[in-house]
Structures are given as structure tokens and as C-alpha cells.
Amino acid sequence: MDKVPLSDELKAAFYEFIETDPNITSLNTIKSYQSIGNRVFEKYDILDKRNTELMLRRYGKNTNIKHLLAKLNEFFIINEIDYTIRLRKGKRTPRRIPDILSKEELQKILNTMPTVYKMMISCIYNIGSGLRISELINLEWGDISWDQLSLDNPIIDVKIRKSKGGKDRVIPMPKESAIPLIEYADKVGCIGSSGLPEGKRIFDFGEDNWKKDLKLIDEREWEYQYIHHAHSWIVYNIFKKYFKFSNKKITPHSLRHSRATELLTVHKVPIEKIKDWLGHEDISTTMIYLHMGSEDDKKLMGGIGGV
């Protein structure tokens, strides 16, 4: 077969395949597939070699068109459709190295923030090798092993549930983040009968009253929209207001890069451990997070010398 009709029936069956794929656990990923899929099914009547090349040229720069076409190949195999989309390996877009902060720069910013904002940033930076924003938003009181905290044990476990790729992981949190959170739990009435924090999400972005009707109708869609709402809130109320630099652009993800770099270069944490704490599958992804500055270069070259 040299072409496949892009019919409404194929579209519906393909979307059902995506929604029931056990390897896709994120509603965000499903919506990403459907977003570019809608454009493809609306624009083209058939899928063939020529149209595939047109799609890649038209949508290739700023969309996940290759991921969509690869997923279509999976769908064709499982449904015994005799067609394979040939995808050429293209040139990789050069990665822009994100700006990062030193611990001292971050501390100066924290000193200007309200307490709750400071706790959010402390959690993003301090827990493991740094949290994703969605992980911070979904963090619940019960995810933290509060009973482990003592004078002899200042590091406690935090369980990150259903993160990117649907994976769980357990990572360490230092007392510098844990103790302010316990004080905050007491303030907002989340200390249970055991004397330890308990309850649902730690940080509230209007959860109880945000789109209540949608939550009753479709809780999964509500969850997806709430995460985006909370993410935008954090960016506009914390990062755009407090992380102002003339020579740097600092985003929430910059803190993960900053933390990973500090752990490797200052504390000599093994890169395999940093990979696990970040929640990466491949260590090559972790390498992207690490920044060796000019001072590190000088120290390395100082030990090498020349002729």
C-alpha cells in the first residue's frame, strides 16, 4: 500500500488508540498528539510520501509532528494496516543552554519573597535534584515521610507520584525545606492527630473553587487545566516578579539546571544519582542539565597545562 486515506473513522480510531495507550499517562501528552493530529486530518485527505514531506516542512519546526507520525506507525502495525511512514533523520536544532543561578544569587532573591513563595522555590530547588513545576503543584502532605525527620536524620524521603512518563520516584529533601513546611502545615490546619502534616496538595492555587462545574463533569480534564492554571500563576506571580536579571532569563526549569550543576560541581554527587533524582530515563538527558562554567574550565586546564 502506497497511501492511507485520512478519514474520520481513522482519526477516531487513532485517537482512541492514543487515549488507551498504557505508555501515555499524561493528559498533556494526549492533547499534544490531538492538537497536531487535528491539523493533519483537517489539511490532508491522504497520507503518502509526498504529504508526509509536506507535513514535516509545514509543521516540523514548532510541533511534535515526528512523534505523531511515529505513533501513527505504531497504530498501523497493531491494526495490521499495510503502510509505513518513512521518517528521515533530520538535523538537530542546536540547544540553547539555559541560564542558571548560583546558590548565593538564589538566596538573595529568596530574602525578598513572602514566606509561601519562598517555600515553593525552596521545594523546587532543594528536593532531590530539583522538581518540575507540575511535581511541586501535585505535591501532597502525605508524600513526605515526616516521621523520618529528627536531629540525627535531617534528610527525609519524598515520593514523587506519576511524574513525567507516569513514573514514581523517591528523592531526598533536606531540613531546610522540611521544617518551614511543618510550620506552614500548622498555620493552615494540616497537622493531623499524629502531630504530623497530612492532607492533600501542599500549595493551594484556588483548587476548591476553581472551575467546580468542570471538576464534577470531567475530573481528568479539570486536573489538566488546573495544572496549567497553577503553572501560569507561579510564572507570573513569582518568576516574572522576583527573578529579574539584565543578563539572564530565569525560568522555573532553570532551577533544576542550577541544582543539578551545584550537586555535580560543588558537592560531587555522582551523575547517575543526579539522573535518578531528576527522574530521567537516559543519562544523556541529564548531561544537558549540567553547566561547567569558566572557573571550572580554568581549574581543569590548570591541572593539564601546555607545552
Q: What is the dihedral of CA 73, 79, 83, 89, to 10 degrees?
A: 10
* Cell numbers for 267: 558537592
The answer to whether residue 288 scores a pLDDT higher than 90 is no
Beta strand pairing call for 4-5 and 169-174: unpaired
Q: pLDDT category, 307, cuts 50, 70, 90?
A: low
The answer to whether residue 298 scores a pLDDT higher than 80 is no
Residue 292: what pLDDT? Answer: 56
- Report the pLDDT averaged over residues 152-173: 87
pLDDT tens-digit readout, 70-125: 899 988 888 888 888 887 665 555 556 678 898 899 999 999 999 999 999 999 99
Q: What percent of the chain has pLDDT over 70?
A: 89
Residue 86: what pLDDT? Answer: 84
Q: Length of the chain, please?
A: 307
Residue 56: what pLDDT? Answer: 87
pLDDT tens-digit readout, 139-161: 999 999 999 999 888 999 999 98
- Report the pLDDT averaged over residues 216-243: 90
- Helix or strand run (H / E) with residue 156: strand 155-160
The answer to whether residue 30 scores a pLDDT higher than 90 is no
* 41 or 30, higher pLDDT: 41
pLDDT tens-digit readout, 245-257: 878 888 888 899 8
The answer to whether residue 20 scores a pLDDT higher than 90 is no
CA distance to 97, 213, 235, 251, per residue, from 246 (Å): 17, 43, 18, 14
Place of cell 533524582: 277
Q: What is the dihedral of CA 134, 140, 143, 148, to 10 degrees?
A: 120
As a whole number, the mean pLDDT across the chain is: 86
- Side chain identity at residue 44, one-letter code: Y
Q: DSSP state, 204? A: -
Among 160, 167, 130, residue whose Cα is nearest residue 278: 130
Q: Are 203 and 116 in contact (CB under 8 A)?
A: yes
Residue 130 CA from chain centroid, whole number: 10
